[in-house]
Amino acid sequence: MAMNRVQFQKGLSMADFQAQYGTEAKCRRALYRSRWPKGFRCPACGDRRRSTFRRGGQPYYQCRACAHQATLLSGT
């Protein structure tokens, strides 16, 4: 039988994956740090000031300078 390359690829074990991304909050935190490593920056104008609100269970970030709205997944 041929070796399953996906099954034996290098990376995180299931236990390591659960430790890093095992909850919704941990996933959101990882996405936020990945998208904005130095803190929020408006994709439209570059301003750092923001407001947050939820719509449909998803957090939205609204720039206080230009009112542009962004989510963790928008533009990905």
What contacts 66, CB < 8 A, 6 or more positions away? 42, 44, 45, 47
pTM of the model: 0.72
Number of domains in the chain: 1
Main-chain dihedrals φ then ψ at residue 33, nearest 5 degrees: -65, -35
pLDDT at 3 over 70: no
pLDDT at 70 over 60: yes
Residue 44 located in a structural domain: yes
Residue 47 located in a structural domain: yes
Residue 1 has a CB neighbour count (10 Å cut-off) of 3
Residue 14 located in a structural domain: no
Residue 48 located in a structural domain: yes
Q: Answer positive or negative: Cα dihedral of 51, 39, 67, 64.
A: positive
| Residue 72, helix vs strand vs coil | coil
